């Protein structure tokens, strides 16, 4: 690759986004930003419009870059269209791909399916997972965001969207670990509800709700209200 890959920070409503972007700039001073674009599909397409390098890094707004990580491409990035680093879950400690830093090609972004349940998973082309933990996924900055993260991830896992032997363990950890972390109980509740939702509605149009921000907000407010009244 002739030049270092561009780096794009994608944020929407994360309360800690400014802090995270400032942290990113310490590692990648020329990082660019997409802010408050509705929907992951649209935000990733907007990121593509900002870059000039063949591959570029995508960093989500709730990602805190860890000491020692360097935004350098693999020696031969063309061996895959999507490169993924591990992310540490700020609530349950899992080191997995949820909220991970990614190095992607233009082709991978253009291949995303706008009707997919998981836009990153819908990217076509070879993938490579790098075993280094690049970031901490601090999605739990508010009760709603913690609940939503647990709900969406476990709905996808329970619906069969991910076909991997680790799925039962991931579902178990999301639902049972992290109650003493900030907003951890909300994350665990969301995970329980998401797992039930994914099992019930797998393969149906009802699964589209996991990408519907308005529906998620309404559902969370209903649950929060019930907890307050009980």
Superfamily of domain 6-137: Spore Coat Polysaccharide Biosynthesis Protein SpsA; Chain A (3.90.550.10)
Transcribe the chain into DSSP letters: --SPPEEEEEESS-TTHHHHHHHHHHH-TT-EEEES-SSHHHHHHHHHTT--SSEEEEEETTEEEPTT------S-GGG-SEEEEEEEETTT--EESTT--EEEEHHHHHT--TT-SSHHHH--S-EEEEEEEEEEE---SSHHHHHHHHHHHHHHHHTT-S--TTHHHHHHHHHHS-TTSTTHHHHHHHHHHHHHHHHHHTTSGGGGGGG-HHHHHHHHHHHHHHHHH-
Token digits of residue 7: 């780096």
pLDDT (tens, 9 = 90+) of the chain, 230 residues, equals 457 999 999 999 899 999 999 999 999 999 999 999 999 999 999 999 999 999 999 999 999 999 999 999 998 999 999 999 999 999 999 999 999 999 999 999 999 999 999 999 999 999 999 999 999 999 999 999 999 999 999 999 999 998 899 999 999 999 999 999 999 999 999 999 999 999 999 999 999 999 999 999 999 999 999 988 87
| pLDDT for res 1 | 44
Please identify which residue in the block is written with the tokens 């061996």. 79
Question: Would you list the domain boundaries of the chain?
Answer: 6-137, 143-229
| pLDDT for res 228 | 85
CB atoms within 10 A of CB 59: 29
| pLDDT for res 3 | 76
Give Cα 133 to chain centroid, integer Å: 14
Compute the half-sphere exposure of residue 131: CA atoms within 13 Å on the CB side of its CA: 0
| pLDDT for res 139 | 98
| pLDDT for res 16 | 97
CB atoms within 10 A of CB 202: 15
Q: Are 172 and 125 in contact (CB under 8 A)?
A: no
Nearest to 208 by CA among 113, 141, 71: 113
Nearest to 124 by CA among 136, 112, 138, 141: 112
């Amino acid at each position: 690759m002739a030049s270092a890959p561009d780096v794009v920070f994608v944020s929407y409503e994360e309360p800690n986004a400014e802090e995270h972007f400032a942290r990113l700039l310490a590692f990648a001073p020329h990082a660019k930003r997409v802010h408050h674009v509705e929907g992951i599909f649209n935000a990733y397409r907007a990121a593509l419009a900002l870059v000039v390098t063949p591959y570029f890094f995508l960093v989500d707004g709730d990602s805190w870059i860890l000491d020692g990580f360097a935004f350098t491409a693999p020696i031969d990035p063309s061996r895959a269209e999507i490169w993924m680093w591990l992310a540490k879950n700020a609530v349950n400690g899992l080191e997995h791909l949820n909220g991970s830093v990614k190095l992607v090609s233009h082709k991978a972004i253009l291949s995303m399916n706008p009707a997919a349940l998981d836009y990153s998973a819908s990217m076509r082309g070879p993938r490579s997972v790098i075993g280094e933990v690049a970031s901490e996924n601090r999605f739990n900055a508010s009760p709603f965001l913690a609940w939503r993260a647990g709900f969406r991830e476990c709905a996808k896992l329970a619906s069969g969207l991910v076909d991997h032997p680790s799925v039962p363990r991931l579902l178990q950890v999301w639902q049972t670990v992290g109650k003493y972390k900030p907003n951890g109980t909300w994350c665990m509740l969301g995970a329980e509800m998401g797992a039930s939702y994914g099992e019930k509605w797998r393969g149906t149009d009802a699964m589209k709700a996991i990408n519907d921000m308005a529906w998620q907000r309404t559902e969370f407010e209903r649950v929060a209200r019930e907890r307050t009244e009980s």
